[in-house]
């Protein structure tokens, strides 16, 4: 064998995931899902602890908002960066780096001596958290490719279930720790769990090399434009959607929003010429991926305001306590769990995620429309029934969208595709909250005798139904992918430009149904 041939063999991508024993696969899965769950909890854990935090560290309502916003902004902006880096350089380094930053931020939060230090520490924590969910989800996909379809669908369902539990468990954990010990333990408990997971990942996570890295230097201008543009857009949406009285024309909202849009437009022009783009535009030539990204945006936009504004209605119009209003949201959460589990079962049986997504979008729209008639005397069982429908409609998108996103692109782009799907969901929620706040403010100003009740009902029905219909349209336009394991139909390109056999290393078949 010549020197050149030996060098060529060394340069060929390797996939250490294919040779893992079942025991190692389970240990890595447990470690990854543990870190993913920590990042989910920390997005909501400070909600119930904030009054005690402010009492001890000082600060105003503005500081209160930024303790949460700093984490969400940092974790959202870094999602596409980690996803792309994991495709270019492998999963191991970005995941371990993100976990290290997350744990350092958690320690800093736990020992913070002022509200300003806590906010900065939360931002550091968020920078690390961006890797945990994005790269973690990509590692799970590498561990369970379509050749292990039942396990792949089951893992996506587990992650979606963890997200639901995180929505409930974060505030609950924060409240329990604050009452029984100290709010600082909400952050310090991340350390033993995270260090144990890190030890397992260091020993067991394969050092797999990427299948396709391209040639050329890393796209530093693209990174700068993407980070700055997303930060400005999210900042503007956060300022608009946090319940303040700012209008869309307020300089603090319009300025960052316009500047961010300009930077993102410049990014698209730049990425067309970049040898190794941080935002590979070729992904959107895959019809299934482009459709599911849009659908994910609208699914999240439709459902997110209900968890906020229904609670507002129950407390301020119906006079329920905070605890009772939280319990009355349980039908929506139960619906999410059921919708997610039924979707997993349907995909394992038929290998086709599209029908479940279509039914979900239809249920989401149907459950939203009755809120047009919301009044002070609307029966509570009717509200609960509508929330159950909304939860059932949202459930399919929680795991099903990730399945479609990861299986509609070449294997070498899975990290970037996962990040793009997650990012658009988060943007959908941010846009939805900002628009909902504007609609509610308009109704409060011009709503007649019952502005709050009518405003909440009209806002929820409008956002939910319009976004649900747009999600339905996006799913209708999505090719009907069929995901099969070994022995299934031959793999065919999901869009023009995908090389033949691109995913052959997984022995998978992903095809478009007639």
Give the SS3 label for residue 104: helix
pLDDT at residue 427, rounded to an integer? 87
Query: Which tens digits make up the pLDDT trace of 203-257?
Result: 999 887 655 555 456 778 888 898 899 889 888 888 787 656 678 888 888 899 9
Same domain (yes/no): 199, 331: no
- Two tokens, residue 69: 């916003």
Tell me if 225 is assigned to some domain: no
Query: In terms of pLDDT, which residue wins out, 448 or 458?
Result: 458
| Whether pLDDT at 495 is above 50 | no
Phi, psi (deg, nearest 5) at residue 512: -95, 125
How far is C-alpha 319 from the geometric centre of its chain's CA atoms? 33
163, 186, 207 — which closes off a domain?
Answer: 207
Answer yes or no: are the C-beta atoms of 457 and 371 closer than 8 Å: yes
- Two tokens, residue 40: 């989910």
Task: Quickly state the pLDDT bin for 333 (edges 50, 70, 90).
Answer: confident
How far is C-alpha 6 from the geometric centre of its chain's CA atoms? 42
Tell me if 443 is assigned to some domain: yes
Q: How far is residue 499's CA from residue 104's CA, in Å, rounded to a whole number?
A: 42
Among the listed residues 235, 241, 298, 246, the one whose alpha carbon sits nearest the alpha carbon of residue 428: 298
Same domain (yes/no): 363, 491: yes
Neighbouring C-alpha atoms within 13 Å toward the C-beta of 409: 29
Task: Quickly state the pLDDT bin for 104 (edges 50, 70, 90).
Answer: very high
* C-alpha torsion sign, points 65, 67, 72, 77: positive
142, 172, 207 — which closes off a domain?
Answer: 207
Within 10 angstroms of residue 275's Cβ, the number of other Cβ atoms is 10
Tell me if 63 is assigned to some domain: yes
483 forms beta bridges with 510
Tell me if 117 is assigned to some domain: yes
Same domain (yes/no): 287, 402: yes
| Whether pLDDT at 488 is above 50 | no
Among the listed residues 365, 386, 383, 378, the one whose alpha carbon sits nearest the alpha carbon of residue 453: 378
Antiparallel, parallel or unpaired: β 509-512 and 481-484? antiparallel
Same domain (yes/no): 173, 314: no
Among the listed residues 365, 396, 410, the one whose alpha carbon sits nearest the alpha carbon of residue 141: 410
207, 226, 248 — which closes off a domain?
Answer: 207
Task: Quickly state the pLDDT bin for 7 (edges 50, 70, 90).
Answer: very low
Same domain (yes/no): 200, 303: no
Answer yes or no: are the C-beta atoms of 91 and 211 closer than 8 Å: no
Query: Which tens digits make up the pLDDT trace of 409-453?
Result: 887 788 888 888 888 888 888 888 888 888 888 777 765 555 677
Contacts of 242 (CB under 8 A, 6+ apart): 65, 69, 437
Angle (deg, nearest 10), helices 380-407 and 330-350:
40
CA triple 399-401-406, angle to 5 deg: 100
pLDDT at residue 382, rounded to an integer? 93
Query: Which tens digits make up the pLDDT trace of 497-506?
Result: 333 333 433 4
511 forms beta bridges with 482
Same domain (yes/no): 419, 509: yes
Same domain (yes/no): 61, 193: yes
How large is the average pLDDT for residues 19-36?
89
Query: In terms of pLDDT, which residue wins out, 63 or 491?
Result: 63
CATH of the domain at 477: 1.20.1250.20
Tell me if 239 is assigned to some domain: no
Q: How far is residue 463's CA from residue 481's CA, in Å, rounded to a whole number?
A: 29
How far is C-alpha 132 from the geometric centre of its chain's CA atoms? 11
Same domain (yes/no): 315, 188: no
- Two tokens, residue 490: 């031959």
Q: How far is residue 197's CA from residue 245's CA, in Å, rounded to a whole number?
A: 44
Tell me if 415 is assigned to some domain: yes
Same domain (yes/no): 459, 360: yes
Classify burial at 9, counting beta carbons within 10 Å of its beta carbon; exposed 0-12, middle 13-18, buried 19 or more: exposed
Averaged pLDDT score across all residues of the chain? 81
Q: How far is residue 132's CA from residue 126's CA, in Å, rounded to a whole number?
A: 10
- Two tokens, residue 354: 């599209």
Q: How far is residue 9's CA from residue 3's CA, in Å, rounded to a whole number?
A: 10
Task: Quickly state the pLDDT bin for 146 (edges 50, 70, 90).
Answer: confident
Query: Which of 107-121, 245-259, 395-409 is predicted most confidently?
Result: 107-121
Answer yes or no: are the C-beta atoms of 109 and 118 closer than 8 Å: yes
Query: Which tens digits make up the pLDDT trace of 365-400?
Result: 999 999 998 888 889 999 999 999 999 999 888 878
| Whether pLDDT at 492 is above 60 | no
How large is the average pLDDT for residues 116-129?
92
Alpha-helical (H) ranges within 45-60 are 50-57
Answer yes or no: are the C-beta atoms of 347 and 461 closer than 8 Å: no
Query: Which tens digits make up the pLDDT trace of 249-305?
Result: 888 888 999 999 999 999 998 888 888 888 888 888 889 999 999 999 999 999 888
Neighbouring C-alpha atoms within 13 Å toward the C-beta of 306: 37
Query: Which of 31-45, 156-170, 348-362 is predicted most confidently?
Result: 348-362
Residue-number span of the structural domain to which 196 is assigned = 16-207
Same domain (yes/no): 202, 306: no
N- to C-terminal Cα distance for the chain?
47
Contacts of 60 (CB under 8 A, 6+ apart): none
Same domain (yes/no): 193, 320: no
Query: In terms of pLDDT, which residue wins out, 10 or 268?
Result: 268
Tell me if 220 is assigned to some domain: no
Same domain (yes/no): 188, 300: no
Tell me if 488 is assigned to some domain: yes
Number of domains comprising the chain: 2
Answer yes or no: are the C-beta atoms of 482 and 511 closer than 8 Å: yes
């Amino acid at each position: 064998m010549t020197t050149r041939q030996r060098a060529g063999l060394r340069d060929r991508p390797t996939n250490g995931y294919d040779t893992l024993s079942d025991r190692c696969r389970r240990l890595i899965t447990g470690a990854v899902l543990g870190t993913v769950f920590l990042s989910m909890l920390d997005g909501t854990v400070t909600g119930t602890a904030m009054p005690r935090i402010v009492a001890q560290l000082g600060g105003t309502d503005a500081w209160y908002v930024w303790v949460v916003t700093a984490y969400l902004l940092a974790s959202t902006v870094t999602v596409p960066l980690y996803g792309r880096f994991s495709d270019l350089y492998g999963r191991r380094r970005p995941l371990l780096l993100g976990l290290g930053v997350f744990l350092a931020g958690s320690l800093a939060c736990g020992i913070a001596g002022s509200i300003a230090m806590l906010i900065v520490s939360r931002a550091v924590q968020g920078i690390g958290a961006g890797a945990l969910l994005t790269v973690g989800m990509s590692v799970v996909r590498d561990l369970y490719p379509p050749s292990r379809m039942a396990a792949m669908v089951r893992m996506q369902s587990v992650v979606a279930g963890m997200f639901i539990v995180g929505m409930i468990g974060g505030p609950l954990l924060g409240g329990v720790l604050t009452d029984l010990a100290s709010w600082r333990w909400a952050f310090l408990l991340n350390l033993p769990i995270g260090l144990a997971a890190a030890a397992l990942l260091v020993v067991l996570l394969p050092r797999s090399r990427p299948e396709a890295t391209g040639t050329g230097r890393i796209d530093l201008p693209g990174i700068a434009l993407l980070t700055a543009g997303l930060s400005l857009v999210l900042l503007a949406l956060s300022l608009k959607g946090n319940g303040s009285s700012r209008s869309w024309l307020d300089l603090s909202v319009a300025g960052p929003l316009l500047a961010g849009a300009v930077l993102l437009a410049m990014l698209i022009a730049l990425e067309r010429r970049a040898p190794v783009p941080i935002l590979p535009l070729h992904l959107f030539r895959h019809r299934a991926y482009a459709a599911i990204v849009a659908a994910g945006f609208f699914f999240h936009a439709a459902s997110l305001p209900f968890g906020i504004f229904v609670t507002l209605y129950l407390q301020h119009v119906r006079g329920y306590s905070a605890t009772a209003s939280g319990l009355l949201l349980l039908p929506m959460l139960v619906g999410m769990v059921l919708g997610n589990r039924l979707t997993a079962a349907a995909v394992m049986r038929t290998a086709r995620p599209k029908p479940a997504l279509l039914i979900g979008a239809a249920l989401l729209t149907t459950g939203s429309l009755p809120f047009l008639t919301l009044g002070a005397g609307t029966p509570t069982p009717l509200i609960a029934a509508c929330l159950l429908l909304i939860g059932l409609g949202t459930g399919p998108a929680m795991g099903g969208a990730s399945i479609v996103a990861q299986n509609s692109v070449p294997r070498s782009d899975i990290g970037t595709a996962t990040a793009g799907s997650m990012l658009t969901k988060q943007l959908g929620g941010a846009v939805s909250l900002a628009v909902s706040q504007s609609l509610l403010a308009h109704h409060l100003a011009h709503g007649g005798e019952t502005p709050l009740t009518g405003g909440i009902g009209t806002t929820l029905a409008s956002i939910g139904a319009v976004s649900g219909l747009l999600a339905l349209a996006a799913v209708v336009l999505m090719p009907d992918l069929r995901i099969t394991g070994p022995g299934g139909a031959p793999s065919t390109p999901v869009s023009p430009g995908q090389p033949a056999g691109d995913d052959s290393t997984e022995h998978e078949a992903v095809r478009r149904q007639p």
